[in-house]
């Protein structure tokens, strides 16, 4: 799908989930080396052993976030820090290693920087990013995997429900199946949550509906989610209307779009509450609008509900004024047409920064400390409280008055303090790249290699572009 450097005009709006871009990023984890072997490669199939533990026991988590091209042609990623935090929370719940937020964001920056040229100037098309982690160990003992792989891929996407984003959908209330139960994984973005929902989705389709509405698993009366999306209601009050969404009880996914819409509602003075809503209350007429929210769905109006207890229309069956206003404000914020006081849009690093990221990781994988010093020395500054800053190569090769020494060698870093080596963090450095992007370089995570006291690199270096 490679295009020219100039973003191409829209020729066809893609569907959802098939128009993949050219590259992917991978990184592996094991107990000895931690996260290592970060690579950029052409998008390709990956071989799997038949006993891959993640396939058998569902140790698989993922995320979904988007990059957008604004009217000025600039590409930004919307709130990736929140997805990084949720990805880490999912990993904790599934007994998997957490990917540091810096590594998550660096991968997003690089992939979008490489493939942003495929994103057209069509406001109806965005670049959907899919981070994924799964257990890769070839072992079938019933326990957590001891090896993992992180993948990041991307695809172009149009509207999740079709070309008209304001066309209302009809939904089916599932009375037979539930999505999540207290104490389970309803608030985790893990693969195991999704396959069990497909049978209810098929039932909804058979009833002529586009999506399924999930109720709580205890009383089967409280609305929780719609498909894989959060749900909002617009309810009449004595003086006007208020926005209502079910509270995060541990059985609902804490959606980034949900969080954003609550903040946007406060920004425009729209009262919003987190409160349980029953199907009976939805039906009784006080609720005049309803919509689903999510990264893929954005804001999708709900026009009609089909339920074994009786079908009903939401309001007049069309997208209401609150739904329209919130959707437009969200889209404008994502694409840079509205103010961004909270810094939700993350700019894509310049091509020069992306190139330095790639060079950096190649040097790390090669254990080439001399190359790393050469890469950062022109702009390196090392700050010590109470001391003048050290600049240039000295900032990276001779600090703390020479008591710590970095040596290039076969994937090793040696630290000498006093009479012998010990495990410790070597230091933190901040510099400015030639293109003006700020970077941070950290030396950390060593382990002892044998009785001689040599300490070997384990993802020793970290690099985070900050635009």
How far apart are alpha carbons 150 and 38 in whole angstroms? 9
Distance, in Å, from the CA atom of 206 to the CA atom of 204, rounded to the nearest integer, reads 5
pLDDT of residue 421: 30
Q: Does residue 216 fall inside a structural domain?
A: yes
Mean pLDDT, the chain, integer: 81
Residue 446 has pLDDT above 50, yes or no: no
**Cβ-Cβ contacts under 8 Å for 328 (sequence gap 6 or more):** none
The answer to whether position 181 is within a domain reads yes
Q: Are residues 248 and 320 in the same domain?
A: yes
Last residue of a domain, one of 124, 158, 192: 158
The CA radius of gyration of the chain, in Å to the nearest whole number, is: 25
Kindly tell me the burial class for residue 228, based on how many C-beta atoms sit within 10 Å of its own C-beta (0-12, 13-18, 19 or more). buried
In this structure, the answer to whether residues 180 and 318 fall within a common structural domain is yes
- The CATH number of residue 242's host domain is 3.20.10.10
Task: Compute the average pLDDT of residues 238-253.
Answer: 95
151, 29: one domain: yes
CATH number where 138 lies: 3.30.470.10
Domain that holds residue 104: 19-158
Pair type for strands 169-173 and 211-215: parallel
d(CA 248, CA 254): 7
3-state secondary structure at position 278: strand
Half-sphere exposure (CA, 13 Å, Cβ side) for 355?
Answer: 7
Same domain, yes or no: 307 and 414: no
CA nearest 168: which of 46, 56, 273, 314? 314
- Of 158, 187, 207, which one is at a domain's C-terminal end? 158
Report how far apart, in Å, the C-alpha atoms of 91 and of each of 88, 132, 189, 449 are. 5, 11, 9, 29
Q: Tens of pLDDT along 331-365? A: 999 999 999 999 999 988 766 666 766 776 677 66
CB 337 within 8 A of CB 71: yes
> Under a CB-based contact definition with an 8 Å cutoff, are residues 137 and 98 in contact?
no
The answer, yes or no, to whether residue 381 has pLDDT greater than 70, is: no
Is residue 305 assigned to a domain? Answer: yes
Please give the model's pTM, rounded to 2 decimal places. Answer: 0.78
Domain boundary among 111, 137, 158: 158
State whether 73 and 139 are in the same domain: yes
pLDDT (tens digit per residue) in 402-424: 222 232 222 223 332 222 232 22
Query: Number of structural domains, the chain?
Result: 3
Widest CA span in the chain: 80
What pLDDT sits at residue 457?
29
Give the per-residue pLDDT at 389.
63
pLDDT at 170 over 70: yes
| CA 325 remoteness from chain centre | 26
pLDDT at 12: 56
Q: Is residue 26 part of a domain?
A: yes
Distance CA 335, CA 429 (A): 34
Instruction: Calculate mean pLDDT across residues 67-87.
Output: 95
In a domain, 454, yes or no: yes
The verdict on 153 and 204 lying in the same domain is no
Pair (152, 176) in one structural domain: no
Q: Are residues 84 and 126 in the same domain?
A: yes
Residue 128 lies in a domain: yes
**Domain for residue 333, yes or no?**
no
Report how far Cα 65 is from the mean position of its chain's Cα atoms: 5
Q: Which of 62, 14, 64 is nearest to 294 (CA)?
A: 64
Cβ distance 249 to 277 under 8 Å?
no
The reply to whether 199 and 297 lie within a common domain is: yes
Domain co-membership, 188 together with 284: yes
Same domain, 185 and 303: yes
In which element (H, E) is residue 202 found? Answer: helix 198-206
Task: State the helix-helix crossing angle for 351-366 and 369-376, rounded to 10 degrees.
Answer: 160
Q: What is the pLDDT of residue 395?
A: 56
Give residue 10's pLDDT band: very low, low, confident or very high (50, 70, 90).
very low
Same domain, yes or no: 94 and 223: no
Residue 309 lies in a domain: yes
Task: Give residue for tokens 């533990």.
Answer: 53
Cα gap 467→458, rounded to integer Å: 27
Percentages helix, strand, coil for the chain, rounded to the nearest 5?
25, 30, 45
How does strand 223-226 pair with strand 211-215? antiparallel
pLDDT for the residue numbered 430: 31
């Amino acid at each position: 799908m490679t295009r020219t450097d100039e973003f191409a005009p829209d020729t066809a709006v893609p569907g959802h989930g098939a128009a993949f871009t050219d590259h992917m990023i991978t990184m592996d984890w094991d107990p000895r080396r931690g996260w290592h072997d970060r690579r950029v490669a052409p998008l390709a199939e990956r071989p799997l052993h038949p006993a891959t533990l993640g396939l058998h026991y569902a140790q698989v988590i993922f995320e979904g976030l988007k990059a957008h091209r604004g009217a000025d042609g600039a590409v930004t990623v919307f709130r990736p820090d929140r997805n990084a935090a949720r990805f880490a929370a999912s990993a904790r719940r599934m007994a998997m290693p957490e990917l540091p937020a810096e590594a998550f964001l660096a991968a997003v920056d690089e992939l979008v920087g490489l493939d942003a040229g495929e994103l057209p100037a069509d406001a109806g098309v965005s670049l959907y990013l899919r981070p994924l982690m799964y257990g890769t160990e070839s072992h079938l003992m019933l326990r957590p995997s001891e090896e993992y792989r992180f993948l990041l891929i991307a695809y172009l996407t149009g509207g999740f429900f079709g070309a008209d984003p304001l066309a209302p959908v009809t939904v089916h209330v599932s009375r037979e199946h539930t999505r999540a139960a207290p104490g389970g994984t309803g608030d985790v973005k893990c693969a195991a949550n999704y396959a069990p929902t497909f049978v209810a989705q098929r039932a909804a389709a058979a009833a002529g509906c586009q999506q399924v509405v999930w109720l709580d698993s205890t009383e089967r009366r409280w609305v929780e989610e719609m498909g894989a999306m959060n749900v909002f209601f617009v309810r009449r009050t004595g003086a006007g209307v208020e926005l209502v969404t079910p509270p995060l009880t541990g059985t609902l996914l804490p959606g980034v779009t949900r969080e954003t819409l609550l903040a946007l509602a406060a920004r425009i003075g729209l009262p919003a509450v987190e409160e349980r809503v029953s199907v009976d209350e939805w039906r009784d007429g006080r609720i005049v609008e309803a919509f689903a929210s999510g990264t893929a769905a954005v804001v999708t109006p709900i026009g009609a509900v089909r339920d074994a207890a009786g079908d009903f229309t939401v309001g007049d069956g069309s997208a209401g004024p609150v739904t329209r206003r919130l959707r437009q404000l969200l889209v404008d914020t994502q694409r840079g047409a509205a103010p961004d006081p909270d810094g939700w849009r993350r700019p894509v690093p310049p091509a020069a920064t992306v190139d330095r990221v790639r060079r950096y990781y190649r040097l790390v994988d090669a254990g080439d400390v001399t190359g790393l010093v050469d890469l950062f020395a022109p702009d390196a500054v090392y700050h010590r409280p109470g001391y003048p800053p050290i600049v240039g190569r000295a900032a990276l090769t001779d600090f703390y008055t020479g008591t710590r020494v970095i040596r290039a060698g076969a994937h090793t870093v040696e630290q000498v303090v006093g009479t012998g080596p010990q495990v410790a963090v070597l230091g933190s450095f901040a510099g400015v790249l030639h293109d003006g992007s700020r970077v941070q370089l950290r030396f950390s995570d060593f382990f002892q290699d044998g009785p001689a006291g040599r300490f070997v690199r384990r993802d020793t270096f970290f690099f985070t572009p900050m635009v």
